[in-house]
């Protein structure tokens, strides 16, 4: 199938397919005599794997590792679990940081009168922290 058909079958845009090829997540596609990329069921399955990994927020480098683990029938599930747990820890730290930012902004917004006066605790706080 051509790139458009592979895009439809996998749910990954043609632009992203070309990108994943350029960064080595998928191999260089076979080409027709006229230079069009050709994909088979294995490539489509790999694209679906990548798409789902991206939906879960995995980075390109982590997806590269996951693809290697997926292809390694001798892998240990413990290795996959370790990778997932590391990512969960990072997500927990990011969530904590975002909650702290949200709480600070919520406090500043609560302190702001939101009227026609120029005084604004939000602006004052931003200027103070520069």
Count of structural domains within the chain:
2
What confidence tens digit (pLDDT) does each residue in 53-86 have?
A: 999 999 999 999 999 999 999 999 999 999 999 9
pLDDT at 129: 63
Query: How far apart, in whole angstroms, are the C-alpha atoms of residue 25 and residue 46?
Result: 9
- Give the range of the structural domain holding residue 127, as residue numbers without chain letter: 76-130
13 and 64, same structural domain? yes
| Domain of residue 69, CATH code | 1.10.1660.10
Query: How far apart, in whole angstroms, are the C-alpha atoms of residue 102 and residue 95?
Result: 10
67 and 47, same structural domain? yes
Q: Which of 26-30, 33-37, 89-93 has the highest mean pLDDT?
A: 89-93
- Return mean pLDDT, the chain: 94
In terms of Cβ atoms closer than 10 Å to its own Cβ (0-12, 13-18, 19+), residue 44 is buried
48 and 95, same structural domain? no
Last residue of a domain, one of 53, 74, 95: 74
58 and 80, same structural domain? no
66 and 81, same structural domain? no
87 and 27, same structural domain? no
64 and 1, same structural domain? yes
Evaluate if residue 35 carries a pLDDT over 90.
no
């Amino acid at each position: 199938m051509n790139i458009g058909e592979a895009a439809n079958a996998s749910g990954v845009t043609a632009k992203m397919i070309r990108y994943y090829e350029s960064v080595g997540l998928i191999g260089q596609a076979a080409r027709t005599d006229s230079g069009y990329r050709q994909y088979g069921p294995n490539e489509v399955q790999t694209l679906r794997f990548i798409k789902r990994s991206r939906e879960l927020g995995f980075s390109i480098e982590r997806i590269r590792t996951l693809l290697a683990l997926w292809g390694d029938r001798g892998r240990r599930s413990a290795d996959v679990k370790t990778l997932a747990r590391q990512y969960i820890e990072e997500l927990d730290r990011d969530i904590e940081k975002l909650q702290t930012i949200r709480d600070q902004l919520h406090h500043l917004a609560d302190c702001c009168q939101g009227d026609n006066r120029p005084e604004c605790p939000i602006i004052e706080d931003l200027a103070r922290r520069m």
